[in-house]
Structure 1
Amino acid sequence: MKYSVIIPVYKNAQSIPRLIIALTEINQRLNNEMEAVFVVDGSPDASFSMLQAELPNLPFTAQLLAHARNFGSFPAIRTGLMAATGQYFGVMAADLQEPPELLISFFEALSAGECDVAIGTRNARQDPFASRMASSVFWGLYRKLVVHDMPPGGVDIFGCNLIFRDQLLKLEESRSSLIALIFWLGFRRKFVSYDRQVRQEGKSAWTFKKKVEYMMDSVFAFTDYPIRLLIRMGTIGSLVSLAIGLMVVIAKISGAIAVPGYAATMIVVLLLGTLNLLGLGLVGDYAWRAYENTKQRPLAVVSMQLDNRERKQP
């Protein structure tokens, strides 16, 4: 197969009939050169049994994998990428909130050699107001703290070629962010915009708790911002406490402070408090450097290599 579509499945039993219709249409537009890789991520509903029953009758090549329990959507995508046999790969949401036509745009750009990874960026989303606001805050913090190149609407789906897929699978990190790893790898990118559709069946499993966990994993795996914040607070606090301490000493000498021991107590509290922040930041910086080495990410990633060793014999 030339094209592989990876579909993580979790609590999507109601949308499976519509999903199969959409995949059939995509396969036809791709000249029947598509395979679908369904990865059921420990779903408690009937998603696996429904797909298992439909598998022999599908009008396109398909694989069905099942996780032993719910590991999360990103591990499910990795499982699908490992099992896929195509030359170009695309990730598709089983709830169909991302339009299936987006995959066609991904594959056209990838097969034409325009990019190594195609990334879907949301222009707008038809979700409830509270969900839109929470998503806006989430991705705003993500851009600020983790990946500065992240589109304002965030990223849920992407497509890539074989070279990018192989490099991505080499990064075997737990408690990390697949989306952040995509940006960390670099390569040639193309952003494809789309409007997120209204969810027609079921309820999203992307809960507030999972969003917080995802944000924490992304922050601690990709940025030392909290550590640098401690260092800055400690440095600024030390300077401020020095100035205040000087004012307290002057006030004590001039007789403005009559309470015994007040000046010494203020100076000690201010100085030690800010030095603690600075010390924590410095220790944290060394811990971060050690943690970075344990990830064993490559120091550089080669996306292309050419040579002229094949020369004509005289």
Structure 2
Amino acid sequence: MPKLSVIIPCYFNEENIPVTTRELLANEALFPADVSFEYVLVDDGSEDGTLQALLDFRAAYPAKVRVVELAGNVGSYNAIVAGMAQATGDCMAIITADMQDPPELMVQMYDYWQKGLKLIIGNRQDREETGLQQLFAKGFHALMKKIALPNIPDGGFDFVFFDRQVAEHILRLHERNSNLFYLMVWLGYPYVNIPYVRRKREIGKSRWTLKKKMKLFIDSILAFSFFPIRAISVLGLALGLAAFIYGLYIIGLHLFGSQKPEGWSALMVVVLFVSAFQMTALGVIGEYVWRGLDAARNRPLYVVKELYESEPAATSQLT
């Protein structure tokens, strides 16, 4: 009897949990009768009543619900990894707690998994959000597709269904400062893409801030592309060539021309431009160096404060 583990990262989702869990339970009726379900809900250091809402859900369905309480906020991707480590299903799905992604799509994903596919992606073909949020999302994924992973679907995705084998690969990689969903595609498994329209959030306020979006943008590029380093090399060579040609021009004026080069302002513009390039290059290199240092320290991606499951478990766990 196949077992499906649904992994849900939760952060300040107190109001969402009752609605989310109700929809997920109703969604079970769409699956074949022989499929069993496990819900792994990860509280990512929420400071509202999210944990209590998760525990209430577990109290109602103790046989199928696991709640992972993390010691602090580590980000949704690390929280998902924590959920993967606790999931026991033959296949797994990741869905957000705000129900912007349609849970009924998991039925079609499950059918593809039954046919032998290890990875099924729910691709946001369009979204009901408007304005800068939609523009940022489309621009981000279009850029990543061009310079890093050409085989990712258009529009981005964070609703995926995958085999346990994929989860085991992700856990062994133990990557940090990366993009978990791009990492799944990077593994190289053939996947099928199911487009859908992402719903507008109806309950609660998104904690997906501009700061977090920028970090994900930088992490994704540096984790999967050498473009920043290559761009520095190309620009450095171009500036060097321009400096060489200009140097020859100045020498020529001194040797053969009567007009002497003047212009303190022009000189300062050149100096400031080159200095800005050097500082930007050092910043990009520093980002790579810091990520190497962070990996070398090998600190845990998360710390489990408490694990609530059917069987007694230790109250502190590192991974």
Q: TM-score, normalising length from structure 1?
A: 0.80
Q: Provide runs of 4+ in structure 1 moved above 4 Å.
A: 293-296
Deviation track 1:128-158 (CA, whole Å, cap 9, x = no partner) reads 3222112222223333343332323111121
Aligned residues: 288
What residue in structure 1 maps to residue 11 of structure 2?
A: 10
Tell me which residue corresponds to 1:104.
107
The aligned runs of 1:301-312 (5 Å cut-off) are: none
Q: CA deviation at 1:280?
A: 7.1
Aligned counterpart, 1:241: 243
Counterparts of 1:295 and 1:237, CA distance in 2: 37
Measure the CA separation in 1 of the matches of 2:59 and 2:48: 21
Query: 1:60 offset after TM fit, Å?
Result: 6.9
In structure 1, what is the Cα distance between the partners aligned to 2:201 and 2:282?
A: 46
Indicate conservation of the 8 Å contact 1:27/1:60, yes or no. Answer: no
Using the TM superposition, name which of 202-211 and 24-33 deviates more.
24-33
The residue type paired with residue 6 of structure 2 is V
CA contact (8 A) 2:122 2:157 kept: yes
Q: Is the 8 A contact 2:118 2:162 kept in 1?
A: yes
Pairing 1:78–2:81 present: yes
| CA shift in 2, pair 1:295/1:196, >3 Å | farther
**Greater RCO, CA 8 A, separation 6+:** 2
User: Secondary structure at 2:15's aligned position in 1?
Assistant: helix
Three-state SS of the structure 2 residue aligned to 1:65 is: strand
Q: Which moved more, 1:44-53 or 1:24-33?
A: 24-33
Question: 1:1-314 residue pairs with structure 2 within 5 A?
Answer: 2-30=3-31, 31=34, 33-58=36-61, 61-113=64-116, 115-258=117-260
Compare CA radii of gyration and give the structure with the larger one: 1
CA RMSD between the two structures: 3.4
Kindly provide the CA deviation profile for residues 239-273 of structure 1, in whole angstroms up to 9, marking residues without a partner as x.
2222222222222222243369x9xx99x979x98
Q: How far apart, CA to CA, are the structure 1 residues paired with 2:289 and 2:9? A: 35
Contact 2:250 / 2:261 at 8 angstroms: preserved in 1? Answer: no
- Distance in 1 of aligned mates of 2:4 and 2:106: 10
Q: Helix, strand or coil for the counterpart of 1:13? A: coil
Which deviates more from structure 2 when the two are superposed, residues 176-185 or residues 250-259? 250-259
CA gap 1:222/1:244 in 2 versus in 1, 3 angstroms = same
- Between the aligned partners of 1:96 and 1:155, the Cα distance in structure 2 is 14
Which structure 1 residue ranges, 5 or more long, are not aligned? 297-314
What is the rounded CA distance, in whole Å, between the counterparts of 2:183 and 2:118 in structure 1? 14
Say if 2:57 and 2:65, in contact at 8 Å, map to a contact too.
Answer: no
Deviations 1:27-74 (A, max 9, x none): 222255111111111111211101212323239711111111111111
| SS at 1:20 equivalent | helix
